[in-house]
Copies of this chain bind each other. A is one copy, B any other.
Amino acid sequence: MALNDSQRQSKRAWERLGSRADGAPRAAELTAVALELFAQKSFSAVSIKSIGEAAGANSALIYYYFKDKEDLFRACIESAVEQSFEHFIALSKNRDDPAGTISGWLNTHVELYLTLRKMVKVSLDYKSSSAVLPSVEKSYQRFYAQEAEVLEACVREGVARGLFTHADPQAICELTSTFLDGAMVRSIILPEFDVETAVGHFREFLWRALGYEPAK
């Protein structure tokens, strides 16, 4: 797997001083391992040594591929956002069935909550640090823009077809993503929380609020 744009960008940025070869499969490996750890604990609770160890490599190797710990963290966030994003993009195609698409979007959160909550967790950590990394901000922007576009388009389409009533697309979209974020957090905080059940309840609630009658 090749480095993505932002990773390549950051390599270039710090390699102006050191000058080192480009294109690295091992960097992606390290990023994956680090993301796992950063999502489990927190940025400062994870040591460079533990990342190296988990990746089966010496910690010094990390500094070959990344400028410093923060640079690795940045790569992790972007990777988490990217992974989440890719799973959504498939749903964007299906504009014919608004309720089906929304439903699919909810299901995606159930199936991939392990991936998605990594993104939420790491995002919290990132936002808690006062650092502002332009490439990370761009990732987020892209993700949320896509999310809004898909959901709002579905609601508008549903209203246009007379399937939904009373719907403010933006409000519905925000409501839904806020709930889903809550579900991700709760699945971390409450051991007995069941994402599938909770999302199922939300779907019923949403249909009722939208005045939608599922055909069945």
| A residues whose Cβ falls under 8 Å from a Cβ of B | 40-45, 120-121, 123-125, 127-129, 144, 166, 168, 171, 174-175, 177-183, 185-186, 188-190, 198, 201-202, 205-206, 208-209
Number of copies: 2
Interface SS of A by simple majority: helix
* A171-B201, A208-B166 known; A124 vs B182 contact (CB < 8 Å): no
Q: Closest 9 CB pairs between A and B?
A: A182-B182, A181-B182, A178-B182, A44-B45, A42-B42, A44-B44, A205-B209, A171-B201, A208-B209
Is the CB–CB distance between A40 and B128 below 8 Å?
yes
Identity of the chain B residue whose Cβ is nearest the Cβ of A190 in the assembled complex: B144
Q: Which of B123, B128, B171, B205 contacts A41 (CB 8 A)?
A: B128
In the bound complex, CA of A185 to CA of B185 (Å): 8
